Amino acid sequence: MTILVQFAIGLIFGVGLIVSGMSNPAKVLNFLDVGSIPAGAWDASLAFVMAGAVAVTFIGFNRVLKLGRPVFAERFYVPKRNDIDPRIVVGPAIFGIGWGLAGFCPGPALTALGFGSVSAFIFVAAMFAGMVLARVIMQLSSPAGAIRPVDPVET
């Protein structure tokens, strides 16, 4: 039953990405092109999508965390660290550069795979290669014997 509910949630999310235009890189790039505001080519519609997502998160996040435990998990995975380290600066910077160059972020790129988009396949392949490369770099930079998966609660 849990897997069906999770599938339904993912399906709703994917349909939302398609309906909002987030899976269309041209629409995303037009939104990010704030330099074209005087010419009238800027597409502000995704600002409403993002505002809706922020509003839902703002309302829902605190309510959900008041529950004793998640509905479909043993515990909440909430970061305990609040310091700023290089990973929390470099990661979003790479994300933003990739989003600005390709017009995709991970969720919409995976959704666009269903349309057979060649650019989505290239983006997703590069994304997975980047994940593997990041893991290799982390393992190489770790002291011997300290290589272990990172628990989301500790990060």
What DSSP line would sit under 114-143, residue for residue?
TTT-HHHHHHHHHHHHHHHHHHHHHHHHSP
Note whether 120 and 113 are within 8 A (CB). Answer: yes
- Asked whether residue 153 is domain-assigned, the answer is no
- Asked whether residue 150 is domain-assigned, the answer is no
Of the given ranges (13-27, 52-66, 67-81), which has the lowest mean pLDDT?
Answer: 67-81
Domain that holds residue 116: 2-141
- Asked whether residue 151 is domain-assigned, the answer is no
Of the given ranges (33-37, 97-101, 127-131, 146-150), which has the lowest mean pLDDT?
Answer: 146-150
- Element holding 148 (H helix, E strand): none
- Asked whether residue 155 is domain-assigned, the answer is no
Q: Mean pLDDT in the chain?
A: 84
- Asked whether residue 105 is domain-assigned, the answer is yes
pTM above 0.85, yes or no: no
- Asked whether residue 113 is domain-assigned, the answer is yes
Note whether 107 and 22 are within 8 A (CB). Answer: yes
Note whether 98 and 29 are within 8 A (CB). Answer: no
- Asked whether residue 149 is domain-assigned, the answer is no
Structure confidence by residue, pLDDT tens digits, 5-49? 889 999 998 898 888 888 888 888 888 887 777 766 788 888 898
- Asked whether residue 148 is domain-assigned, the answer is no
CA distance 88 to 79: 12
CA dist 48 to 13, 31, 32, 52, Å?
16, 11, 14, 6
Per-residue pLDDT at 4 exceeds 80? yes
How many folded domains does the chain comprise?
1
CA distance 100 to 108: 14
